[in-house]
A and B are shown apart, each in its own frame.
Chain A
Amino acid sequence: MSDNTIRQFISFTIGDEEYGVDIMAIREIKGWTVSTALPNAPRYMRGVINLRGAIVPILDLRSRFGRGCTEATARHVIMVVAVGSRVAGILVDAVADILAVPGDDIQPIPQLEHAAAGFLTGLVTVDGRMVALLDLDHVFAFDEMDLSGAEAAA
């Protein structure tokens, strides 16, 4: 089925890799601020921050992909997103670009390739770069998250 609608994304980097989030889901982008740790939370849950009076959980995307914890500095970025009725933040390295791509250009995820495959909805190539598109619902599947705190080394 041909999909010529233009989809817009904001892309960001984790290390050398570029990921995209549907622009409609993004509420704001801010610099890293120290978060308050949540006891016995999974390694990739950095904690919660105060966003103008709201308690917003921050997820370390690198850690969520099983690639170790991000050593956050003031230069790191939090992308505040809406996931269903919740507001949450994703800790990433840097914001990259605003992308507008025709729906047709988005490829499905090859099954085994990407370590983060379960969290992606598609791949798209922009200016020769590969951008992996995030499935926020899956990234933030809190109900399914392992809450035992006994995480294997990431």
Chain B
Amino acid sequence: MAIRAQPIKALFSRAPRLVRDLSAKLNKQARLVMSGENTEVDKTVIEQLSDPLTHLIRNSLDHGIESPEERVAAGKPAEGTIHLAAEHRSGRVIIQVSDDGKGIDRKRVLEKAVEKGLVDRGAQLTDEQIDQMIFAPGFSTAAQVSDVSGRGVGMDVVRRNIQDVGGRVVVQSTPGEGSRFILSLPLTLAVMDGMLVAVGNERYVLPLTNIVESLRPTGQQARTLVNVGDVLTLRGDYIRLIRLYDLFGITNAITETTRGLVVVVETEGGDRIGLLVDELLGQQQVVIKSLDSNYHPVEGISAATILGDGRVALILDVGALRIMGERLNRAQIEASTTAEAAE
């Protein structure tokens, strides 16, 4: 699997303009220093970091760097410095956004955390613990909401975006001297080899490692056994046949087994099942994206990915499909038994 590595310069390239425009807007003086622009990072990591990085720079300019007057009064040069740095360390990419501003106002952060019920009044927190509170959901200490960065949906989203790509972010701060955000990222995102399948108008991805074979069954191979449900006979073995369109409530799908395709898959536990789909659309590498961040787990689905055309495709959880299939078959058998008994 080739890593589509690019120099992180691509990510940093918007920063100078951002710093110029924002300092003008906020009546602050700041210069940007960059280092390690040639550090190579996977293209997909770069794409995911664009928003968080922008927000961190905005945050430094808005809340970190003081006005020229304040800085001079504090014995600092009127012009503040924001430093953007990247390097490889221990198999990860480390990106730092630091400023020589006034640092985190711990008293205000603690007060806000108490107000929001994140922490009990009188709780003993170390300075570092207080600093990390800025990442708590809904947190914003901007006394007046500046349209630049104070919306209160900032730092927690930054952290989540970074976590979504398997990264971590921490902040270090020295009052009066400045703050430093340290992002630690994997060299590449979680990538998987998958088989794209079509069921009706829907597209799903099956992990290639689960796939044993695929076939268009003959009339003899596809049967319905009493008290078991649909099965496929394959070289003398019976495997349960699961109709994905039925399991997922998909219309417009192929319902006749002999007109569709059955993908034989094997679960972690070694069980084999056959999944009825309309067609196979081809093998491709997919970047695994979590469904949990903004929604919650969905039975039968392990994660999601974004296809080349921008559409979201769900990645199937073969083990869960087996359980769901058995449950559905049982329910259908019970329903028809009850119906017969009623006649």
User: Are B296 and A142 in contact, with the CB atoms below 8 A?
Assistant: yes
With A48-B295, A48-B312, A57-B294 in contact, do A85 and B160 touch (Cβ < 8 Å)?
yes
User: Are B301 and A24 in contact, with the CB atoms below 8 A?
Assistant: no
With A49-B312, A50-B310 in contact, do A55 and B153 touch (Cβ < 8 Å)?
no
Q: Which residue of A lies closest to B44 (CB)?
A: A53
Q: Which A residues touch B203, using CB under 8 A?
A: 36
User: Are B289 and A27 in contact, with the CB atoms below 8 A?
Assistant: no
User: Are B311 and A50 in contact, with the CB atoms below 8 A?
Assistant: yes
User: Are B202 and A36 in contact, with the CB atoms below 8 A?
Assistant: yes
B151 within 8 A of A: yes
A49 CA / B160 CA spacing, docked (Å): 18
A48 CA / B296 CA spacing, docked (Å): 12
Q: Which of B248, B249, B294 sits near A55, CB closer than 8 Å?
A: B294
A40 CA / B296 CA spacing, docked (Å): 13
A53 CA / B290 CA spacing, docked (Å): 11
A117 within 8 A of B: no
User: Are B138 and A54 in contact, with the CB atoms below 8 A?
Assistant: no
User: Are B301 and A38 in contact, with the CB atoms below 8 A?
Assistant: yes
User: Are A55 and B51 in contact, with the CB atoms below 8 A?
Assistant: no
Q: Mark B269-296, 1 if CB is under 8 A from A, else 0.
A: 0000000000000000000011101111
The listed residue with most B CB atoms (<10 A of its CB), out of A34, A82, A87, is: A82
Q: Could you count the A-B residue pairs with CB atoms below 8 Å apart for me: how many are there?
A: 88
A39 within 8 A of B: yes
Q: Mark A139-154, 1 if CB is under 8 A from B, else 0.
A: 0001100010100000
A50 CA / B156 CA spacing, docked (Å): 20
Q: Which B residues touch A130, using CB under 8 A?
A: none
Q: Which of A35, A50, A82, A84 sits near B306, CB closer than 8 Å?
A: A50
B186 within 8 A of A: no
B287-328 residues with Cβ-Cβ distance < 8 A to A are 289-291, 293-296, 298-301, 304, 306, 310-314
A61 within 8 A of B: no
B137 within 8 A of A: yes
Q: Which B residues touch A85, using CB under 8 A?
A: 137, 156-157, 160
User: Are A36 and B313 in contact, with the CB atoms below 8 A?
Assistant: yes
User: Are A40 and B248 in contact, with the CB atoms below 8 A?
Assistant: yes
B340 within 8 A of A: no
User: Are B304 and A55 in contact, with the CB atoms below 8 A?
Assistant: yes
The listed residue with most A CB atoms (<10 A of its CB), out of B138, B247, B312, B314, is: B312
Q: Which residue of A lies closest to B50 (CB)?
A: A52
Q: Which residue of B lies closest to A34 (CB)?
A: B311
B132-185 residues with Cβ-Cβ distance < 8 A to A are 137-138, 145, 151-153, 156-157, 160-161, 164
Q: Mark A28-70, 1 if CB is under 8 A from B, else 0.
A: 0000001111111100000111101111110000000000000
A143 CA / B296 CA spacing, docked (Å): 8
Q: Which residue of B lies closest to A86 (CB)?
A: B294
User: Are A54 and B312 in contact, with the CB atoms below 8 A?
Assistant: no
Q: Which A residues touch B343, using CB under 8 A?
A: none
Extra pairs beyond A50-B306, A88-B294, A142-B295 (11, CB < 8 Å): A27-B153, A36-B312, A38-B314, A39-B301, A54-B164, A55-B294, A56-B294, A57-B294, A84-B138, A85-B137, A86-B294
Enumerate chain A interface residues (CB-CB to B < 8 A).
Answer: 24-25, 27, 34-41, 47-50, 52-57, 82, 84-88, 142-143, 147, 149
Q: Can you list 28 A-B contacts with CB-CB less than 8 angstroms, sorted by A residue number? A: A24-B153, A25-B153, A34-B311, A36-B312, A38-B301, A39-B248, A39-B250, A39-B298, A40-B248, A40-B298, A41-B298, A48-B304, A48-B312, A49-B312, A50-B311, A53-B47, A55-B312, A56-B294, A57-B295, A82-B153, A82-B157, A85-B160, A86-B294, A86-B295, A87-B157, A87-B294, A142-B296, A143-B296
